[in-house]
Amino acid sequence: MAKETAELADYAASCRYEDIPPDVVERAKQCITDTIAAVIFGYDLPWSRMVVAFAAKNGAGGNSRILGPGAPRVLLTSGLAVAQERGIGGRALITAIVAGAEVMIRIGRATKHSNESRGFHAPGTTGPFGAAIACGRLMGFDSERMRNALGIAGSLACGLLEFARAGTGAMVKRLHLGRAAESGVLAANLAGAGFTGPASVLEGEFGFLRVFCGSEFDPHELTDGLGDSYASRSIMLKRFPCHITAHTSVQAILDLRTEHGYAAADVASIHIAGNDKMARVNNIPSPADIMMAQYSIPFCVALAHVRDPRDPRSFDESALREPQIRSLAERVAISIAKERPTPLAALVTVKLKDGRVLTRCVADFKGTPTQPLDRGELREKFLLLTRHCSGEHMNNMFDRLQNLEGESNLDWIGACPQ
């Protein structure tokens, strides 16, 4: 009888900071740093304000903080909340993030993307498991309680992709990650109180894989290399504030514009050859709101001709209404490439009005495992996202985050001082 859920729980309960390779520790710290910056930037956005107001009205209070004037987003926001509430330090948080990532990524791999092809949004469905593991680690769970946390998390998995098809209501995309973090905290707290969940929640006859994926899944991926090869090494940090499928295409445009010096007004049409998801899900030439615009490859590619695509402030409501961006987005065509050097590779062809045809193939971008951000580049992104705060305060926070394993408590992680 398969016992993959139990194996994952045993690993998560027993893994130690001392056993995590230095490069994986560094990757975890990069993820924590990047996520904190993104959360601080996003605090003032309309949808964030709605959620913060709800939390302030209905929350009971405590020692954890909202990272605004007062967070891998599912793992950090849940893990940091528990760490701050319990006065736990940086070394334990790093271990929890790695344990959660190892479990969550393997669950995602086991789905073989079939859960998304069936209409589920993967971060909302796999996220509760990773968040439950991270919280369970910080709460000192043994294997039994960790199994129960996973079992409970399975019944909290949710998130539909209809926002990508309806063209409206994309605020809910943000909610999926937040709800996954919340679900992980809930699952861990219930497990800690003795609440039980099915010990075969992943591999069982009516478990997560069969229910969410039908017949298209691979349970072997759940435990393949567990404890030896680190799935955390595959984590990507976004270079641009848009969907990950747009990154190679946007990078190709930046490379072509740097090399050839053409302007948006010079473009006749753009063709992108990429993967199935690029053509089927992210091919949205006329997005209805800015959240769908960030999900739209044509819009992101068009914006890269007019604004700085690295700055999230470029993706505002004025960009959505800018005629030059909208017009160019409607001249972007996407097809499925027969061959790609990497899953996210994009072959971009730009036809100019003077007859020139410019082509660029980008397989990876800065932030991928093959092209990681160095510390200077990570600092640049961190300060770009938090530039509305005191530069000195944010520089100091960045430096402390790079030595997080030496911090005995995490109360200093917040946002702009008031």
CATH of range 4-237+375-406; options 2.30.30.100, 3.30.360.10, 1.10.4100.10, 3.40.50.300: 1.10.4100.10
Q: So what's the pLDDT on residue 52?
A: 72
Which CATH class, in words, describes the domain spanning 244-362?
A: alpha beta
Tokens linked to 169: 């209501």
**Is residue 207 scored above 90 in pLDDT?**
yes
How do residues 180-191 score in pLDDT, each as one tens digit?
999 999 999 999
Nearest to 341 by CA among 282, 250, 274: 274
345 pLDDT higher than 50: yes
Distance of CA 5 to the CA centre of its chain: 23
Q: Which strand ranges, in their side-by-side order, compose the sheet holding 357-362?
A: 332-336, 267-274, 346-352, 357-362
pLDDT digits (tens, 9 = 90+) for 102-153: 999 999 999 999 999 899 999 999 999 999 999 999 999 999 999 999 999 9
Mean pLDDT over the full length of the chain: 92
Q: Has residue 313 got a pLDDT over 70?
A: yes
Q: Do 4-237+375-406 and 244-362 have matching folds?
A: no
Instruction: Return all residues near 64 (Cβ < 8 A) that are at least 6 apart.
Output: 80, 81, 82, 84, 85
Tell me which residue of 109, 110, 111, 103 sits closest to 136, measured CA to CA.
103
Give yes or no for a contact between 185 and 164, defined as CB atoms under 8 angstroms apart: no
Domain regions of the chain by residue span: 4-237+375-406, 244-362
pLDDT at 154: 98
Q: What is the model's pLDDT at position 63?
A: 55
Whether pLDDT at 60 is above 80: no
Q: Is the distance from CB of 109 to CB of 209 less than 8 angstroms?
A: no
Least confident interval from 66-75, 291-300, 369-378: 66-75
Q: What is the pLDDT of residues 359-409, one digit of tens each?
A: 999 999 999 999 999 999 999 999 999 998 888 999 999 999 999 999 999
What DSSP letter does each residue of 343-403 carry, written as one string? TT-EEEEEEETTS-EEEEEE---BTBTTB---HHHHHHHHHHHTTTS-HHHHHHHHHHHTT
Closest to 83 (Cα-Cα) out of 131, 26, 16: 131
pLDDT tens readout for residues 151-181: 999 999 999 999 888 878 888 888 899 899 9
- Asked if pLDDT for residue 415 goes beyond 90, the answer is no
Q: 202 falls in which pLDDT band (50, 70, 90)? A: very high
When comparing pLDDT for 44 and 234, which is higher? 234
The predicted pLDDT at position 47 comes to 73
Q: Are 287 and 293 in contact (CB under 8 A)?
A: yes
Widest Cα–Cα separation across the chain: 71
* pLDDT above 70: residue 69: no
